[in-house]
Structure 1
């Protein structure tokens, strides 16, 4: 994921540089717009051409010849042969990442130049049928030409963004400003309208591209079910990959694993790391049997929490529970009974949160956004007064002195609201918890936390294989959890990632923090204690008080000006 973000940032920077050059040196005409669109398309094609090479370079992949792959994994080779024969494609290049973090992904230029990669974790924790299901899902992306389709789909919003920015700068800030006559003003107004419409179209296009991406994932799931003639294999595989099943059932102890080099590539992997990273439920009963009740409780958040709908709206992948439900619906066609049963998920949710969760959701949103809303209201009111908008100029009490007083009082209100927000998001009352206790909590959100203390072992970095990841992966005897150590200041995070994280991997720790889910479950660290007595504090909570202090300080200064 880190490399994917790095690649995206690199090409975004390239796009920004090209666009700035175009704004200042190309004519503000239709010809200039066409040139900018041409540059945008060239950047997209360049990214399409070079990205597979960058991915292959950044990830430690052991490429295996087909003959060796078939000898070691004959069950996977059988599925591969079947797919290749039916669809008439070339055999993809096959790779293994020697990492016990279970995942699989595919990348390449076309169905005849694809690479399919699985990790050792897929082979370790999934049975052969589940391995086949995950492998066939990735082959589904290959035969459906998703590399090309998704490149085109995501290119369209970028072209719309280019049009919007060109129209905006051509109308206002181009080096060739319009004359002040009526014709020039009319053209400028038209360009601003075009910019607004293009920005709206860009946003709608981006949302549509996410919908298309989620549909392609469903198609790949259907391909997996078709190859195996059983949707259950992928459903149970998703439970293990997205919700995790990484406990050693022989003795229940955590083993030190090779550090992960890959989690997934956003848009190409078996699941979206933004929606499933850290979904580390290991629900094991006293007989070491997977607990269906715990799975349903974990899935209930996906199915019923309004925050899940919000995050699904912005994701390239459907939430795991949604995919499993769709796979269950296909079982009748293949004459099999669904293995994963969500029939009691609603009862579990209602037992914890009642009939509706919208009241908690709206409370969370209000707490999260109220300081910002007050600031926007102050800013809007002031702009209306400055430009003499209808209604503002007729208010007799509005003058410069009273506007200063309004801002002084408003900043104090924002400061107090920010303190209330911090106290709401960082509650006290820490209690000892197990991972499975936390993961099955349906009411939790990115705002509404559960203060918790967990004990276990740090098994890896939060972003596997990323050297500058300050976050970690934690495991107790019931499950895995993503540990968020982000401080909020880049240099501090980098120092912690370089000096401390590698020393914590493999050590038993006691972590005190705030459990959240948004959409993946994670613990935001307050303190990490090791067995040898070392303590690592995180002051992200304390840093949040900087803004109220700033608001109060500016407010005092404005009061001084007002007096």
Structure 2
């Protein structure tokens, strides 16, 4: 781990230790709940005050007068004058990862930072649109708003800590803990709302919403591309130590910029499958039409790029302009048909497991008069609904398909798969350059697709990566599996077959493909077939759950 990674890790640990130890000290001293609240407020306040100072010391930011290009500096100064906003300090991070972010406490001490990678890939108009977005965060006091938002879950956590050891308040403690996690998702929703607000501000002040659209596309694509190149450099055995250190530094910096910047890394992998605006619109169409996209977005601090482009397209139309990334007419409304059933089938096992754990944690100590058969019946129901969920996710006969046809299918999801057979060349790892990645990228004559190897056996994915992945890369394969769509499209492999090189001949073969006597070893080919048994293992586990519940029920009766 490099300097940046070590610094951030140490800071996180220190913050965690201070909060936990201080909480324990207050509890040990029998401090009232209001003291816990006051401590949480003071803790968040300290973070709010110290955050800019910490950010400047963690990131190497050049705030010199000539760091920011003159065109962008003049644009910000002019815009601040028009809006009556104090001109923020402007800095540059010399990183190839394209991104930008703003930080500070109030308007008067705000900073705007862009990376060198963003300035290289964006036109002047696009760079100005990004800067206007960051100025929007400053104009809307988003630093203070997000700090207040983050305080609420922390206060709920204090209620949980202060009441969990009080027997007659155990239900209150449980409710506070659940609310704490709900609050975390609400904070992320608030963050996405502020991002939309900053996008609107940029479109309003620049009157070029399409410039921000194209910048967001370049940033999302560029972040994944930079990460891929860094991983490949890090994995290159012939690379120098300095090159590997630079690659590691780039990976760490890219991760942190993704958390703070105008665009997050999540979802960018899908755009890597597109090579032009039309293909990008096709790839993103699923995000706009399928309800599951909204479910996946719940765990993100940034809106999905497709949804941001949709909002910016509306801004462009209002201004009488042509959108940079026009989306299909049929991608303007979410198709809810079938989603309720899929969601229920997906959620029921989780809901039953949650209820069982809740009873084990809280219910046993409450004056609940449950029938004796309730718990074993719930265990049976858990196994049964789990089995139904597996059957729902793995069904259908494998039919030949092209990648382009799959990318245009907006009906698929994690729960509604499409059983397919595709053929093409494996062109690399799902995580480029990572020897431990069992996932692959396949290309046929119509496009590229991610291949995912799922294993329900401990270390199963690592074993597949170590034994088969390198033999598949560079060869044509036939893959049978289930096409699914999450934040990125992929085929979950059930079976993969390929003709791969086999060293043969008499005598020992060395690592260099030669016999012990130094002569060249003859090259032969063999058929490599790999299968995933994940669905059968999951089904067996669900069956064991039902059997366990039945045995329990018989003992109760």
Tell me if TM exceeds 0.5.
Answer: yes
Number of the residue aligned with 2:427: 457
SS at 1:97 equivalent: coil
Q: Counterparts of 1:281 and 1:48 in 2: how far apart (Å)?
A: 36
Residues 491-514 of structure 1: per-residue CA shift (max 9 Å, x gap): 6667888x6899799967856654
Number of the residue aligned with 1:175: none
- The one of 174, 187, 194 equivalent to 1:216 is 194
Q: Counterparts of 2:555 and 2:312 in 1: how far apart (Å)?
A: 66
Q: Counterparts of 1:362 and 1:6 in 2: how far apart (Å)?
A: 41
Question: After the TM superposition, which residues 138-537 of structure 1 pair with which residues of structure 2 at under 5 Å, given as runs?
Answer: 138-142=134-138, 144-169=140-165, 171-172=166-167, 188=168, 195=173, 202=180, 205-206=183-184, 208-242=186-220, 261=251, 262=254, 265=257, 268-274=260-266, 276-280=267-271, 282-283=273-274, 290-291=277-278, 295-331=280-316, 334-342=319-327, 344-346=329-331, 357-372=335-350, 403=373, 407=376, 411=379, 414-427=382-395, 429-430=397-398, 435-452=403-420, 453=422, 455-458=425-428, 461=431, 470=437, 474=441, 476=443, 484=452, 487=455, 510=477, 513-526=481-494
Residues 44-93 of structure 1: per-residue CA shift (max 9 Å, x gap): 3565577678878888x7858552552xxx65455445456653334322
Q: Counterparts of 1:388 and 1:48 in 2: how far apart (Å)?
A: 44
Q: Counterparts of 2:320 and 2:138 in 1: how far apart (Å)?
A: 27
Q: Counterparts of 1:55 and 1:529 in 2: how far apart (Å)?
A: 50
**2:94/2:115 contact within 8 Å kept:** yes
Residues 248-278 of structure 1: per-residue CA shift (max 9 Å, x gap): xxxxxx999766622565663333444x242
Cα displacement (A) at 1:553: 5.1
Q: Counterparts of 1:13 and 1:201 in 2: how far apart (Å)?
A: 20
Q: Against the structure 1 CA distance between its residues 206 and 363, is the aligned structure 2 distance closer, same or farther, given a 3 Å change threshold? A: same
- The one of 542, 545, 548 equivalent to 1:551 is 545
**1:222/1:327 contact within 8 Å kept:** yes
Q: Counterparts of 1:46 and 1:299 in 2: how far apart (Å)?
A: 41
Q: Counterparts of 1:488 and 1:55 in 2: how far apart (Å)?
A: 40
Q: Counterparts of 2:398 and 2:8 in 1: how far apart (Å)?
A: 35
SS at 1:341 equivalent: coil
Report how many residues are paired. 498
**2:387/2:543 contact within 8 Å kept:** no
Cα displacement (A) at 1:168: 4.0
Number of the residue aligned with 1:104: 99
Cα displacement (A) at 1:21: 1.7
Cα displacement (A) at 1:147: 3.4
Cα displacement (A) at 1:155: 1.8
**1:280/1:479 contact within 8 Å kept:** no
SS at 2:484 equivalent: strand
Q: Counterparts of 1:96 and 1:493 in 2: how far apart (Å)?
A: 36
- The one of 120, 125, 128 equivalent to 1:129 is 125
Q: Counterparts of 2:231 and 2:364 in 1: how far apart (Å)?
A: 64
Residues 275-328 of structure 1: per-residue CA shift (max 9 Å, x gap): x242226556xxxx632xx55554443333222333445543333333223223
Cα displacement (A) at 1:217: 0.7
Q: Counterparts of 1:202 and 1:547 in 2: how far apart (Å)?
A: 31
Q: Give ranges in structure 2 of 5+ residues lacking alignment.
A: 234-246, 502-527
Question: After the TM superposition, which residues 40-59 of structure 1 pair with which residues of structure 2 at under 5 Å, given as runs?
Answer: 40-45=40-45, 47-48=47-48
CA RMSD between the two structures:
5.2
Cα displacement (A) at 1:150: 1.5
Number of the residue aligned with 2:241: none
Q: Counterparts of 2:94 and 2:472 in 1: how far apart (Å)?
A: 23
**2:220/2:264 contact within 8 Å kept:** no
Number of the residue aligned with 1:93: 91
Residues 365-413 of structure 1: per-residue CA shift (max 9 Å, x gap): 23223445566788999999998867x6xxxxx7x6xx39x83x76556
Q: Give ranges in structure 1 of 5+ residues lacking alignment.
A: 173-187, 248-253, 350-355, 393-397
Residues 177-202 of structure 1: per-residue CA shift (max 9 Å, x gap): xxxxxxxxxxx5xx567657756765
**2:61/2:93 contact within 8 Å kept:** yes
Question: After the TM superposition, which residues 15-26 of structure 1 pair with which residues of structure 2 at under 5 Å, given as runs?
Answer: 17-18=20-21, 21-22=24-25, 24-26=27-29
TM-score scaled to structure 1, two decimals? 0.68
Number of the residue aligned with 1:32: 32
Q: Against the structure 1 CA distance between its residues 537 and 339, is the aligned structure 2 distance closer, same or farther, given a 3 Å change threshold? A: same
Range moving further from structure 2, 415-424 or 255-264:
255-264
Cα displacement (A) at 1:106: 1.7
Range moving further from structure 2, 196-205 or 440-449:
196-205
Residues 194-237 of structure 1: per-residue CA shift (max 9 Å, x gap): 65775676566545433432221122212332453211111233
Q: Against the structure 1 CA distance between its residues 23 and 329, is the aligned structure 2 distance closer, same or farther, given a 3 Å change threshold? A: same
Q: Against the structure 1 CA distance between its residues 337 and 486, is the aligned structure 2 distance closer, same or farther, given a 3 Å change threshold? A: same
Q: Against the structure 1 CA distance between its residues 357 and 77, is the aligned structure 2 distance closer, same or farther, given a 3 Å change threshold? A: same
**1:458/1:504 contact within 8 Å kept:** no
Q: Against the structure 1 CA distance between its residues 159 and 560, is the aligned structure 2 distance closer, same or farther, given a 3 Å change threshold? A: closer
SS at 2:260 equivalent: coil
